[in-house]
Structure 1
């Protein structure tokens, strides 16, 4: 019998074991059982405290409050949409890994102690790396390994921080932490890797572009949002996050504008949107924190919708290169319309979800006295409209007509995209549907005259700038090229350093071999000593034993 005492992640783990043994519609139906029933249970019977003992430690496997409940509901909803979207593909192990991945994310947000968090943190890394490796793209395996290395580092930092924190405080509670201690810094860096902080973000653009059509949808929903939850739980009000978040909103824009792979563009857009959430967590006020978690909720849906639309394009054409796409609105009109809904949502058009969530963080930024950073967020809002709101639908569906004659996306894909699009419009039109679930008590009215006019002006001028730049030939064209970001270090610098080291080692080895050969050649042909006789050897051994006996007696 289903009970509130059953950990919400447990049905997902059981289903991940069973899924490889089912095929066809039985497998598809089993995919929906844990998220649908689990979501209903969270709504009707929120989980209670569940504890367990492990090696003498009392673990809080389940700790439910408003924050964890909101993310738990979000992850159940994301799992339902992603599994429906993935119905088009018959696979034995990818659904199982996806189920384990979703269950690990749910387990992480309900963890009440740091050890439980670490366990789910590692399961999250292993299952998602497996999804990347099974992506079916040319570089999927290598991208999955690079993804795994980054998240193993995150896990090592987290474990080191947990051990130091326990040694210093004697507590394993997953609660407020500080950067005043080395333990806090290590845990902060572990969260930062998963949240794609600047210089720690290379894995996100690498992995998302090499995952399968469905795998990228799962990746967009869970890993980074678990990190956002962890930061909100542990480091709310930490000022450095404001500056980190502001940088995150801005620098991806420049890479996204010149990037050719449209799924990489969405990966950069993911970092941009995470920056708004990180800023809200750093500000730490009720309005800012509500804005951060509300925007995380909205982002999972509209970013998932955009990844679904690009996944549908990948499924029908075999790639998502902007330089080789265009004219797909003729053969994929439904996908085109649904993509435009996602584009309007991420661009914060009025009546779409991004409009009622992102503005909370920006208003909190002004209220707390950061006008320069507010201008950075304003610039970032215009930039995301350029690369995600305009560039993706334009180059995928409307630009140069490449003559593609493909079928519309499968109905299962359209169903998942349709539900996501409806949710984007519902949240944007009736924000109280989301606001009532926010953890902190505050009042906010998004549809005031000032905010509405400011946002519409921003969008209009951004659209005009895109059209003018494009007509003038100044907008960066879509070229068949590979743009290097932080991955320059391991794609270019490290191979150069390794090549130089190998070359120097070979030179040293050659010198040593030459010197050794010369020495051997100079040695006399005949031995320079007279071999010992048996009597000489016996005498010498006897003297050594006598000396050892004298030493032992003196000691």
Structure 2
């Protein structure tokens, strides 16, 4: 909710959507797995549409932070419309693709009696509507007028967004072709009065809460700031810690290397001293002395063997 970078907002929403898929798989074969597979397919389309719309905004304005944008619906009306379609799909509005798959996962949880899981999914649905379904199009294209006047997105971007938006609407209105591709037989009707009314109530009251928080000044404003997340640990803290440790142990490393060189030099000199022609192992031994040493070694062996 407080993230200013709209691309990162979409990244956080991806965690939410993957959570629905994981829950669907966890609910087991049948409606749960079908819902997870269908939602994975739909998520690729509507999440890609949202990323493309934000990419078009970044391409035309050079900005992606919510605090720097606003009022772009005047300059980019088609991109605004496509983004709203993607936001409606990720929020699971009826007649959009997200509704026909997300509701399947929630129905599977309800049918199996997992009340807590169902309530958590309900809360997650309201959450994604707030931080992606409303926040992305509102702060990018509406909200305050940033004064930015730019061209509409290029034709190739508009075509790509148009195809994705068409798929979102087509699958939402006619889910049968998608259901026929799922791994298990589908015995589910998304457009019943119960499903539609429940989802519309959820979305209506979520939107009402957003409006109330916004008008009352409680909703966090879009500030020009950087919000730290766990990625800061491995992107900044860990490399900085490694550099600090390396600087701290560098004098010790030099001492260890110097001591190692001295030890190696001493060992080489000792080997040379004993094995050169004047050393004890380099001199030529007489045959009698060699025989005497062999007798001594064999005698010692016999003593240890018998006693």
State the partner residue of 2:146: 402
> In structure 1, how many angstroms separate the alpha carbons of the residues matched to 2:172 and 2:277?
100
Q: Helix, strand or coil: the match of 2:99?
A: helix
Establish whether residue 321 from structure 1 lines up as the match of residue 65 from structure 2: yes
State the partner residue of 1:376: 120
Q: CA deviation at 1:377?
A: 0.9
> In structure 1, how many angstroms separate the alpha carbons of the residues matched to 2:208 and 2:200?
12
> In structure 1, how many angstroms separate the alpha carbons of the residues matched to 2:120 and 2:284?
86
Establish whether residue 355 from structure 1 lines up as the match of residue 99 from structure 2: yes
RMSD value over aligned CA atoms? 2.9
Q: Helix, strand or coil: the match of 2:282?
A: helix
Q: CA deviation at 1:379?
A: 0.7
Establish whether residue 391 from structure 1 lines up as the match of residue 132 from structure 2: no
State the partner residue of 2:82: 338
Establish whether residue 458 from structure 1 lines up as the match of residue 202 from structure 2: yes
Aligned length: 281
> In structure 1, how many angstroms separate the alpha carbons of the residues matched to 2:186 and 2:202?
27
Specify whether residues 549 and 376 from structure 1 end up closer, same or farther in structure 2 by C-alpha distance, changes over 3 A only: farther
> In structure 1, how many angstroms separate the alpha carbons of the residues matched to 2:21 and 2:251?
52
Establish whether residue 537 from structure 1 lines up as the match of residue 278 from structure 2: yes
Superposed CA deviations along residues 59-90 of structure 1, whole A, max 9, x for unmatched, are xxxxxxxxxxxxxxxxxxxxxxxxxxxxxxxx
State the partner residue of 1:145: none
Structure possessing the higher radius of gyration over alpha carbons: 2
State the partner residue of 2:22: 278
Structure 1 gap ranges (5+): 1-256, 517-531
Q: CA deviation at 1:549?
A: 10
Question: Could you tell me whether the CA contact under 8 Å between 2:179 and 2:186 is conserved in 1?
Answer: no
- Using the size of structure 1 for normalisation, the TM-score is 0.47
Specify whether residues 539 and 412 from structure 1 end up closer, same or farther in structure 2 by C-alpha distance, changes over 3 A only: closer
State the partner residue of 1:467: 211
> In structure 1, how many angstroms separate the alpha carbons of the residues matched to 2:102 and 2:75?
34
> In structure 2, how many angstroms separate the alpha carbons of the residues matched to 1:428 and 1:477?
33
Q: Which has the higher contact order (CA 8 A, sep 6+)?
A: 2
Q: Helix, strand or coil: the match of 2:238?
A: helix
Superposed CA deviations along residues 153-176 of structure 1, whole A, max 9, x for unmatched, are xxxxxxxxxxxxxxxxxxxxxxxx
Specify whether residues 498 and 441 from structure 1 end up closer, same or farther in structure 2 by C-alpha distance, changes over 3 A only: same
- Using the size of structure 2 for normalisation, the TM-score is 0.83
> In structure 2, how many angstroms separate the alpha carbons of the residues matched to 1:423 and 1:319?
28
Q: CA deviation at 1:502?
A: 2.4
Establish whether residue 444 from structure 1 lines up as the match of residue 188 from structure 2: yes
